[in-house]
Amino acid sequence: MNKKGFTLIEIIAVIALLGIIIVIAVPAIASMRQTALEKEVEAQINSIESAAVYYSQDTGVTGNITVQTLLQSGYLDPTYEFGNNECNEQVGCLVRPTDNVLLNNKTVQITKTNNKTKAEYQD
């Protein structure tokens, strides 16, 4: 008799192999996701600082300004629009992706030296 199919040993071996692959893949994927979020935060900070430089060059303002000011002036786009549960402000909110901290009240220090404008995000 010639029966076709898998033996119990073959099925157990495949399941064990799949289990090993899952054990290896899940932490790697989680690590990649965390790295991507951290890079997104770095990019967000760079955007805030660039927007502050443009704001200062356009308005002549130096010193401390808030992210809220940049949002209201249209130099930054909000990540959450008005009406979201976390955001009750008309202009929207900017939220850090790693921990969902609201950034609207964070400040940026703008300095001008030798006709060069520099912005530094204050967390």
Tens-place pLDDT, residues 14-68: 999 999 999 999 999 999 999 999 999 999 999 999 999 999 999 989 999 999 9
Token pair, residue 110, equals 């703008």
Indicate the SS3 state at residue 93: strand
* Summary mean pLDDT of the chain: 88
In the chain, alpha helices (H)? 8-59, 67-72
Are the C-beta atoms of 80 and 73 separated by less than 8 Å?
no
